[in-house]
Structure formats: structure tokens, C-alpha cells
Amino acid sequence: MKALVTGASSGLGRDIARVLAARGCKLILTARSRDKLEALAKTLPGGAQVVCADLSDEKECHRLYEQLRAEKIDILVNNAGFGLCGMFDKTDLDAELRLIDTNIRAVHILTKLFLRDFIARDSGYILNVASSAAFFPGPQMAAYYASKAYVMRLTLGVREELRRRKLPRELWDAALDELPEQSDTVERLLMQKLRGRAPEGAELRRACAALIRRGFSWEEVSSAAKRLSHGLELDE
């Protein structure tokens, strides 16, 4: 497999590159410092391709993608980022905007561009590196904490969109087989009604309505639908 690791010149990015190399991945490393990237590449089994880019520049994000799209990347690791410390009214605005461009815009751009390719190929992995900072307010590091919250929420949102896409028939049948054998369980009946369509929106509502017409209560049908859709609320 071939992996692209951003922010690979130090810290987590460097360590992730080492782990992936140890697992046999072919690596493409990117960061601003060519010297650090080349030094790291020399220590990795099989070496690595080095591509310098300043991801705080939107044009550089697009250039990186265009340069590598033919490489058939299997794994994208969005790790590039940095923090600033200080009272919000005192920290440098230009530095904070560079932080937003690196920690948020670059992650957003690369995730979207490579995800489109992964969906078209029906394969690929994306690791967006957030932080425990994503879960808390960050006095004196407000911009950094907020940027990591964005990364986490973006990633969770995209993951849920992908989960809700139409399931391959074999996966749907496997999920159906894992339900209890009683043919009258509401979950089983709902899945039989949906038959390969994502448990959401109009399709789910039609399946629920069909079961209610058969005599099941709204409470048990809506509860089963919520379990299948992992929390999606239905209007009565």
C-alpha cells in the first residue's frame, strides 16, 4: 500500500511514517523542510519519496494533490498542523490565520480531493490527526483547540455520510444474518424491507410505515429504526 503523510518532518507525523514503513507501506512524505524529510527517509526501510509543500497555502494543497493523484495513494494521513500559545487578544492574527489554513483548510481540501478518488476506486483510508484538545475549550490556545474540534467533527461527519451510503448486498445480508433468528424481530423485518438501501430518509420512513400498517406500534418501530440508523430520529 502507498501512504501520503503530511507534516512528516517531526513529531506524530514522523512516528506515523515509521510505523507505516515498518508495516511495508510505500511512503510519500510531505512538509516544508526538505532536509528533515530526506533525513527521515534515509532511516526508513525502503526509503520514501519526498515532496516539499507549505500546506498553509491553498495553492500548495492543490499542487500536492495534482502531483500525486496518479500515484494511486491508498492511505492519506492528514497530520500537518501547529499550535499557538497566548491570550487570544494578544496573539498575532496573521499567525493564527496560518494556523487555520494549515490545521483546517489543508485538512479539508486534501480530505475532499483524495476521498473523491477513494470513493471512485472503492478503496482507501484517511487518518485525520486531531487531539484530545478537540473535546475541550482551550484558554490561551483557543485557535488551536478550535481547529482540532473542526478536524474531529469534519471526520466524524464524513464517516457517517459514508456509512449511510448504499451497502453492498453481501454486507447487508451478513448484517441481516447476525440478527436474532426470530423472524418477527422488528430490526429483521426493517432490514428485509430496506434490502440493501441505506437505513435513512424516505426509504427508512416507508419501511417503518409498512411495519406500522402490519400492526407494530410506533414505539417499537421507531426504536428499531433508531438502532439501525445509529441515532437518526424519525418524526411521528
Q: Which residues are catalytic?
A: 144
Q: Which amino acid is at 139?
A: P
DSSP string, 36-78: HHHHHHHHSTT--EEEE--TTSHHHHHHHHHHHGGG--SEEEE
CB 25 within 8 A of CB 1: yes
Q: Is 217 exposed, middle or buried (0-12, 13-18, 19+ CB in 10 A)?
A: exposed
- What is the spatial distance between Cα 214 and Cα 150, in angstroms, rounded to a whole number? 44
CA 126 to chain centre: 5
According to DSSP, residue 132 is labeled G
Q: How many residues does the chain have?
A: 236
SS3 state of residue 195: coil
